[in-house]
Amino acid sequence: MASWIDNITPDNPVWLARMDHHMGLANSVALNLAGITKLSEDPSGGTIMRTVDGEPTGLLIDSAMNLILSLIPDVSVDQKRDALLRASNLALMRGVTTVVDFGRYFTGASVEASWEDLSGFHLRYFPEFMHFKSNEVILLHI
């Protein structure tokens, strides 16, 4: 699995998280930096996926992801907002007009507060909690 991205990223550590944040893929450089080898044990509550020979594939599940995540430096809220604004402009250029916020982008901030000062953000967004409230309203009227 790490080999899927090793040819593209031979010199830089790369971590790709799955959308649900329960699994991710690390390239070989990242595995080496984290010290993940054939001899590494699965951490409690996690799995290092392996080949039939026992070599790590790069796929890490649940708490095993922390072996990589602990090496990634924190990104400031300002850096996240800047990246989000740039990504939203790219999305708009490609026809994406609406997004849903699952409340994970600005860790530690409420979903409402996360969006307060994004004046350059031109996509429609819906906080995930609205989805749940909509379901509650629908159930009340059934």
Given 11, 44, 69, the domain boundary residue is 69
One-letter amino acid at 98 equals: T
Is the pLDDT confidence value at 51 over 60?
A: yes
99-109: per-residue pLDDT in tens? 876 655 555 66
Distance CA 132, CA 48 (A): 34
Given 13, 35, 69, the domain boundary residue is 69
- What does the pLDDT read at residue 59? 97
Going by pLDDT thresholds of 50, 70 and 90, the confidence category of residue 121 is: confident
User: What's the whole-number mean pLDDT along residues 39-64?
Assistant: 98
Assess whether 110 and 56 both reside in one domain.
no
79-100: per-residue pLDDT in tens? 877 888 898 899 999 999 988 7
Assess whether 60 and 114 both reside in one domain.
no
Over the chain, what is the mean pLDDT?
Answer: 83
Going by pLDDT thresholds of 50, 70 and 90, the confidence category of residue 3 is: confident
Count: domains in the chain = 2
**Residues of the domain holding 59:** 2-69
